[in-house]
Chain A
Amino acid sequence: MLRRDTIFKGAMLLPLVVLCGYFLLLVGSQSAFFSMTDFLEQIGQKDIRSAIALSLIAATASTVIAVIIAIPAAYALARIDFPGKRLVDTFIDLPMVLTPIALGTLILMSWNTSIGRLLSDIGITLPFTFAGIILAQFTVVVAISVRMLKATFEQVDPRQEQVARLLGCSAFESFLHVTLPLARRGILAAIILTWARAIGEFGATVMVAGTARGQTATLPSSIYLAMSMADLPRAVTLVVILIGISLLVLFGVRMVPESRG
């Protein structure tokens, strides 16, 4: 019996070990192209510094916007019955199956419609601006947020909200003081995944915001630009930076203590 358990555990652990080994191999494969002198020299460059800042700010901003919109939307999908709900539920998934490049194309096209032109006329132009990056990333990641948060809210027992109502909370108060705290872990997980997806976003970002160095070139776009010049040292530097920043942020967020109340 015990022996079988060990075999079972081993069978489950083995793929995990193989996967980790594979990822380590991927991360380590750049060492052939990596040189510390290049890295230090390039990390001081204005282009690269601005790419880091652009990536961080845009990913965080698009995540914040996406989650702020996704929380009520996901709650509505999880709790409120309305006609056509299943249709809406499916429709919301559309950005997840559409490739980012298609989404980017659609965003660009949308600014070429009469509504887009009207917005441009009054001075709101998003394509090829910093706001365009946020729009592109938001479009790609918001569906992930909604999907994850919906699952989170579905796990919160409606009874707890009901009891809160009967203890004097309005619907909104019960959402604020009971639902959100209970969904805390799920919301955190959604934020992490959304952010991770946003900072790595490339297809839609490049389409909508272009690759202007120092203005709209994020880390992934810069990697693409470096590859376009066959400039591998630069590409490797950027990849290392992206890995470093992402791991730092992902670990940092997970370290947030599980405080109560």
Chain B
Amino acid sequence: MLRILALLTILFTIFITPALSATAKPVVVFAGSASQPPLVEAAKAFEEKFGIPITLHQGGSGAMLSQVLLSGQGDLYIPGSPDYMDKARELDLIDGEETNLAYLIPAILVPKGNPLQIRTLQDLSRPGVRVGIAEPESVCVGLYAVEIMQTNNLADKIRPNLRGQVESCAKAAAMLPLGTVDAVLGWREFATWNPQAMEAILLKPEEIPRLAYIPAARLRQATNPEGAEAFVTYLKSEDGQAIFRKWGYFTAEENARMLAPSARIGGTYNLPEGW
């Protein structure tokens, strides 16, 4: 027993103490997975530059929202899409305006080398192609996928090919490298995270009815609103936006528009009956 305690103390001193000894009050961020890679990097850069630590909790946007709601904690909410920001606003959790950090463009994702030669949305309805999407009711990227299939009148044809509707947009991205499916209707940005594992097949501009973006907003319950504000300002600064671009996101509307000139940005879409 004594030995265990001693070991604990040593481990504690080595690993935990540095984390605890940070002087400035940390900014607690709850973020959806859609922005995980750039946010991790940006948080590190921000800490180094300003000396304010960022505590970054990540998961499904909905799960993060539940935790914010239940715990009454958190300074900043950065969901993976505007829908969850609307929900958070309905729950009266948001203080002030949201900031648009980057755009998310719907695309078809295939494994590196595109073994099944999928070129168009139409190809997803080919027999034997296993298609993955996220769960449309709770995950935004799933809803976008359904909207694309519906507006292009391919829903009935692609639907038999659907395998597994996963519960987070991040898991949708992981289905490809695991070999569970042959193609995923997801965000183009998934491919830019993992260029060695997958590639994105862009949809035709007219096939994209709606674009998503990553919003950030301060929480009403924030105990460190200044820090939260500073972090958002940093993310929106040239340095911060560069990190998003580095991970393949579009940060300017006109660039995103080039891929989908007629698409709406944000807004709502009601899931049709039967999904």
Which residues in A have some Cβ–Cβ distance to B below 8 Å? Answer: 33, 49-50, 53-54, 56-57, 60-61, 64, 105, 108-109, 111-112, 117, 125, 127-128, 130, 206-207, 210-216, 224-225, 227-232
Tell me, in angstroms, the Cα distance from A207 to B174 when the chains sit together. 22
Q: How many Å from the CB of A44 to the closest CB on chain B?
A: 14
Which of chain A's residues has its CB closest to B74's CB?
A128
Residues A61 and B178 in contact, CB atoms below 8 Å apart:
no
Contact present for A128 and B71 (CB under 8 Å): yes
Do residues B71 and A230 form an inter-chain contact, with CB atoms below 8 A?
A: no
Closest chain-B Cβ to A47's Cβ sits at a distance in Å of 9
Any A CB within 8 A of the CB of B269: no
Determine the chain B residues whose CB is within 8 A of the CB of A64 once the complex forms: 1, 4
A230 touches B15 (CB 8 A): no
Q: How many Å from the CB of B45 to the closest CB on chain A? A: 14
B78 shortest CB reach to chain A, Å:
14
Q: Which of B55, B70, B198 contacts A108 (CB 8 A)?
A: B70
Inter-subunit contact B36/A229 (CB<8 Å): yes
Selected contact of A53 from candidates B14, B170, B173, CB within 8 Å: B14
**Contact in complex: A232, B67 (CB < 8 Å):** no
B165 at the binding interface (Cβ < 8 Å): no
- Please tell me if the beta carbons of B70 and A105 are within 8 angstroms of each other in the complex: yes
Q: How big is the B interface, by class?
A: 35 or more
Judge whether B56 is part of the interface by a CB distance below 8 angstroms.
Answer: yes
Q: Determine whether the beta carbon of A49 is less than 8 Å from that of B15.
A: yes
Annotate B60-100 by CB proximity to A: 1 below 8 A, 0 otherwise: 00000011001111000000000000000000000000000
C-alpha gap A212/B194 in the complex (Å): 22
Closest to B72 in A: A112
Q: A211-B57, A232-B177 are in contact. Are A225 and B73 (CB under 8 A)?
A: no
The main secondary structure of chain A at its interface with chain B is helix
Contacts of B30 in A (CB 8 A): 210
> Are B37 and A229 in contact, CB atoms less than 8 angstroms apart?
yes
Q: In the complex, what distance in Å separates the CA atom of A196 from the CA atom of B36?
A: 29
CA distance in complex: A207, B62 (Å)? 12
Measured CA separation A35–B177 after assembly (Å): 15
Q: Is the CB of B55 within 8 A of A228?
A: no
Give the chain B neighbours of A57 by CB distance below 8 A.
Answer: 8, 11-12, 15-16
Collect the chain B residues with CB atoms within 8 Å of residue A211's CB.
Answer: 56-59
B67 and A210 contact, CB distance less than 8 A: yes
Residues of the A chain whose Cβ atoms lie less than 8 Å from the Cβ of B177: 33, 230, 232
Q: Are A232 and B73 in contact (CB under 8 A)?
A: no
